[in-house]
Amino acid sequence: MTDFNQTRAQFILPEGKIYLDGNSLGPVPVAAAERLQKMLSDEWGTMLIGGWSQAGWMDMSFDVGNRIAKLIGAAERSIAMGDTLSLKVYQALAAALQLNPGRSVILSDTGNFPSDLYIAQGLVRSLDRGLELRTVPPAEIEQALTDDVAVLMLTEVDYQTGRLHDMAALTDLAHQKGIITVWDLAHSTGAIPVDLGAANADIAIGCTYKYLNGGPGAPAFIYVNPAIVDRIQPTISGWLGHQNPFDFSADYAPGPGIERMRVGTPPVIALNVLNTAMDVFDHVDMADVRRQSIKLSELLIAEVATHCPSLLLISPTDPMTRGSQVSFAHQHGYAIMKALIDRGVIGDFRAPDAIRFGLAPLYISEADVRAAVVILADILDNRLWDRPEYQVRAAIT
Ligand SMILES: *Cc1c(COP(=O)(O)O)cnc(C)c1O
């Protein structure tokens, strides 16, 4: 059984705040500062360039990747770390298109995160061979799996509403039609149980600063099914994806297996923080996390329905089709969230009118949810959001 009091104690949670935004950026692990300081002094500060081999910096990408693999049903050494998720979308999509050369359509849904769609648009433009990005509403994906589709690219949990796709079922249907799948696990990894192996997913990507708590800009990951990885000729063919980077030969030859999906020098400092953040998962069962996340989400929905009837639930009501976040729409959503944040309840706002609450059981309790709704109800009942300073949109929401 996962002890959620024990997991909560592993994070720095500022006094007087209720943090319901771990779906955007997880909090700092208590151990991170000391581990980082140790890395700076005992590794970089002492070994200098020798750290690449003496401190295992070069292999960190795969060491950390293996820890993430355990959470998402991936085989050992099937994950490479590095770069941002947007870059990983590019890498994944280019590889998937290569595996299905006779077809021209990238299928996604209209709810996908904009960066995933933007990257697809850019790739379509630069490849300039008649490819098409086709988006349909999330509920219509199944019917849209037609014979002209090369790649199905979906984010498993919708960033806006928390709606959860059935990865195993859609992957199976896609495969029946000869379609390669790319799954974005940005809002899944560390939030819900994922089993890439059981789903026989082809390629998956995700970020590590949301439910994995790796810190702002923490490196993203890419998974490629070991059965197909050797067929990929990487489009971003960087030197660290080369068979023998230190031969410095003039021509690119892909490294074995997932190593080819590496690009350049690994972000060692960020990987150290992420590696520390992964410790909490050593004592966590993702089935417990899921159970607790559903409990917290159901509680939030029920409390809001009772005390804040003007908020419209835009997340699925069935917890089995919802990730670990709950969103509500309100005409004055932006101002309401500003007023909430001013009172120590941190969620976020997504245009045009959604307020989002991430529920991360590792550090959020039922008492937090109840306390947050009391404050939310006060803001709505007393129109505390209706102040000029809450209406002005900041650049970053
Ligand atoms: C958070 C998120 C991103 C962000 O990508 P970065 O390159 O890390 O900024 C992209 N796609 C999805 C689905 C996300 O949830």
pLDDT tens string 181-192: 999 999 999 999
Helices (H) and strands (E) in the chain, counts: 14, 15
Please indicate whether residue 328 is annotated as part of the active site: no
Q: What is the pTM of this model?
A: 0.98
- Our answer on whether the CB atom of 159 is closer than 6 Å to any ligand 1 atom is yes
The mean per-residue pLDDT over the stretch 121-142 comes to 97
Name the nearest CA neighbour of 13 among 30, 25, 32: 30
Q: 184 - beta bridge partners?
A: 155, 205
Name residues whose C-beta falls within 8 Å of residue 365's C-beta, 6 or more positions apart in sequence. 4, 8
- Residue 90's pLDDT is what? 98
The answer to whether the CB of 153 is under 6 A from ligand 1 is no
177 is catalytic: no
- Answer whether 85 contacts ligand 1 (Cβ < 6 A): yes
Q: Which atom of ligand 1 is nearest to the CA of 217?
A: 8
Å from CA of 308 to ligand 1 middle: 30
Tokens of 393: 């949109």
Statement: residue 382 has pLDDT above 90: yes
Stretch 34-54: mean pLDDT: 97
SS3 80: strand
Give yes or no for residue 84 CB within 6 A of ligand 1: yes
Ligand 1, atom 4, residue with closest C-alpha? 85
| pLDDT interval class at 145 (50, 70, 90) | very high
Which atom of ligand 1 is the closest one to the Cα of 84? 7
